[in-house]
Amino acid sequence: MQPAQFAVFGHPISHSLSPQIHRAFAQQFGIELDYRAIDAAPDDFAAAVHRFFGDGGRGANVTLPHKAAAFALANRHSEAATRVGSANVLTRLADGGLAAHNTDGDGLVRDLTERHDVDLRGHTALLLGAGGAARGVAWNLLDAGVDTLTIVNRSPNAADELADAIGDPARAHTRYWEDLADIGSYDLIVNATSAGVLGAALQLPFSLIGARALCYDLSYGAAAGSFLAWAQAAGARYAFDGLGMLLETAADAFELWHGQRPDTESVYQLLRRQAA
């Protein structure tokens, strides 16, 4: 019998660790699966997804730049996906339709609070970016207890839309990208832009780094390198990439699809050793 079919969609996607991660999870339970990376340009995404599920695919992870499009394709939406308007997981339903989920925010908070033992309560947070990745984590950071969330994006309209959607102006507000040098320092700085994936540097001022600052890039590996180098040069107390978040979101998807939750820490340590 053919193994169950799963995939991750993105553009680009060749760097993705998701196939290795899901295979490692499957080994923990003796599950056979076929998990592959599918590179789909934005104009081809919808057709590629329908083709994958039409050929028997059971579930898919979705990464940049397709999370909003994935949400739009689905027939049903989880509460988290509905709240943020984007999806990082698609699951085939029994009637042939698609269910959309968003596990990004849960994955980020779990990585920070459980793996890295960080208490987010009372933090002043700066969120760089206002696209699908930023939307996926903004509400969860507030739910985890950050005191304020300042959203900055090169396109101010997108930042304003995200702040309006959150609907808590006392805690979530926006500032202009051009004002970064003058807006003070923060305890938590989250890079949710696609700059690293695209090979671009952000050119951020060191003045953003507070005395206990934790800097976190939602990307991982080489894509997070520039931001983490800036954080370390600026004197951040902690600087983490998004590998742990990736593991936690992958575990959420795996549990949705297989009904069993894998151990993430052993796979996290394996991938860190491989990277070193």
Is there a single domain that holds both residue 49 and residue 173? no
Is there a single domain that holds both residue 231 and residue 125? yes
pLDDT at 224: 95
Closest CA relative to residue 212, chosen from 241, 237, 235, 231: 237
Its domain, for residue 48, covers: 4-102+247-275
Element (H, E) at 37: strand 33-39
* C-beta separation of 118 from 238 below 8 A: yes
Is there a single domain that holds both residue 42 and residue 93? yes
CATH value at residue 190: 3.40.50.720
Q: Which of 22, 66, 67, 92 is catalytic?
A: 67
Number of other CB atoms surrounding residue 145 within 10 Å: 13
Q: Is 67 a catalytic residue?
A: yes
Between the alpha carbon of residue 25 and those of residues 37, 248, 253, the distances in Å are 16, 11, 11
Is there a single domain that holds both residue 115 and residue 210? yes
Dihedral angle over CA of 104, 70, 19, 48, nearest 10: -170
Where does the pLDDT of residue 52 fall: very low under 50, low under 70, confident under 90, or very high at 90 and above?
Answer: very high
Question: What does the pLDDT look like over 55-85, one tens digit per residue?
Answer: 999 999 999 889 999 999 999 999 999 999 9
Is there a single domain that holds both residue 170 and residue 233? yes
Is there a single domain that holds both residue 91 and residue 139? no
* C-beta separation of 215 from 189 below 8 A: yes
Is there a single domain that holds both residue 237 and residue 253? no
Is there a single domain that holds both residue 130 and residue 60? no
Is there a single domain that holds both residue 15 and residue 122? no
- The domain tally of the chain equals 2
**pLDDT for residue 1 is more than 80:** no
pLDDT at 200: 85
pLDDT at 61: 98
Q: Is the pTM of this model over 0.85?
A: yes
Is there a single domain that holds both residue 231 and residue 110? yes
Is there a single domain that holds both residue 188 and residue 259? no
Question: What does the pLDDT look like over 92-145, one tens digit per residue?
Answer: 999 999 999 999 999 999 999 999 999 999 999 999 999 888 999 999 999 999
CATH value at residue 89: 3.40.50.10860
Is there a single domain that holds both residue 146 and residue 111? yes
Report the mean per-residue pLDDT for the chain: 96
118: Cα separation from own chain's centroid: 18
